[in-house]
Structure 1
Amino acid sequence: MHFMYGYGSIWPMICMIIVWLGLLILGCFLIRNFIDGGHRSKRILKERFVRGEIDKEEFERLKSILKD
C-alpha cells in the first residue's frame, strides 16, 4: 500500500525516463533524416562520380532523379 504514496520502487521512474529518452532520440533521428532534403544522397552521388564509379551521363541521370 505504501507504493501509492511515492515510497515504492524507483524502477518505474527509470523505465519512464528510458522511454522518453528513446522517443526523443527517435524523433531527432527522423527529423535529421527526413528533413535533410537528400543532401546526403547528393554527396554520395558526387563522391561516386569523383571516384570514377559512374560516368557523367549516369551522374546527370541520378542527379535529376534526386531533384524530383
Structure 2
Amino acid sequence: MVNQQNGKSKKNVAEGIKDTAGSAFETAHNALETTEDIAMNTVDAAKNAAQKMTGNMKNNQGKQR
C-alpha cells in the first residue's frame, strides 16, 4: 500500500512539474508573440512616416517650381 502511494505521489509530482513547464512555455510563447506584434507595428509606423515625409517633400518640390 505504501509503495502504491509513493508511486502515485511521484506521478502527481511529475504531472505538476509537467504542467508548470507547459505553463511557463506558454507564457514565454505569448510574450514572444506580443514582442513580435509590437516590433511589426513599429516597423509599419516607421514605413508610414517615411512615406508621408517623402510624399510631403514631393508635394513641396512641385509647389516651389
Q: What is the TM-score when the length of structure 1 is the normalising length?
A: 0.43
Q: What is the TM-score when the length of structure 2 is the normalising length?
A: 0.45
Q: Which has the higher contact order (CA 8 A, sep 6+)?
A: 1
Q: Which has the larger radius of gyration?
A: 2
